[in-house]
Amino acid sequence: MPFTIAIDGPAAAGKGTVSKAVAAHFGFAHLDTGLLYRAVGAKVLDGAEPVAAAHALLAADLENDALRTPEVAQAASKVAVIPEVRAALVDFQRAFARRAGGAVLDGRDIGTVICPEAEAKLFVTASAEVRAERRYKELASKGIETSFQEVLAEVVARDERDMNRAEAPLKPAADAVMIDTSDLGIDEAVAAAISAVETKRNPA
């Protein structure tokens, strides 16, 4: 039986951490859809044409640590405004979402566009400062040199682009459960997400 958990939210909100933990808890497969856009963005930085790069994407392209840099994140959000790029990535995401055995997808438009029929939808957010602080620490731990101010500017610029694009803009689905993680630790955020999904799995 398919059971889709859609987890959307702005840049560096902790969707990745929450999604992995939720997927492990329920024994579901997990897809970080941001990696698809990052992989296309990385190819464009290497000189490819965005729509052709999206059509030619391979699973192996997603397994690349270099996709986590702020430069690739910006390139991802630039290619993500192109409707033909988004269209090229839809079928793969929909098939993943409806696979037997359950799936967790995290991104920007999972509950609104990719899988509006998802059984559980979460919108994970936090203040821009908290998100930038978390991303800054993550990048620093990987040895990527940057400053908090640079990371904050990067996160804010990406949110603006993601929220204001015409195609599949970042916004909560009408029936999404909102989880603000500004004042939550990882365990608390994960517990809040699991409890929101449990409510949908076993409605009272």
Binding residues (CB under 6 A) for ligand CDP: these are: 11-12, 15-16, 33-34, 37-38, 73, 76-77, 80, 107-109, 158, 162
Least distance CB 14 / ligand CDP (angstroms): 9
CA distance 31 to 16: 9
**Cα distances (angstroms) measured from residue 121 to each of 3, 87, 90, 140:** 11, 22, 18, 31
| Burial environment of residue 204 by CB neighbours within 10 A (0 to 12, 13 to 18, 19 or more) | exposed
Closest by CA position to 96, among listed 54, 37, 52, 33: 33
Least distance CB 69 / ligand CDP (angstroms): 11
Least distance CB 202 / ligand CDP (angstroms): 28
Least distance CB 56 / ligand CDP (angstroms): 18
Q: What is the DSSP string of 67-112?
A: GGSHHHHHHHHHHTT-HHHHHHHHHHHHHHHT-TT-EEEEESSIII
Closest by CA position to 68, among listed 41, 107, 44, 29: 41
Cβ neighbour number for residue 144 with a 10 Å cutoff? 14
- Given the complex with ligand CDP, which of 1 and 60 has the nearer CB atom? 60
Least distance CB 3 / ligand CDP (angstroms): 19
- Given the complex with ligand CDP, which of 2 and 16 has the nearer CB atom? 16
- Given the complex with ligand CDP, which of 121 and 158 has the nearer CB atom? 158
Least distance CB 204 / ligand CDP (angstroms): 31
Q: Which two tokens stand for residue 190?
A: 């994960």
Closest by CA position to 9, among listed 144, 198, 158: 158
- Given the complex with ligand CDP, which of 3 and 109 has the nearer CB atom? 109
- Given the complex with ligand CDP, which of 3 and 19 has the nearer CB atom? 19
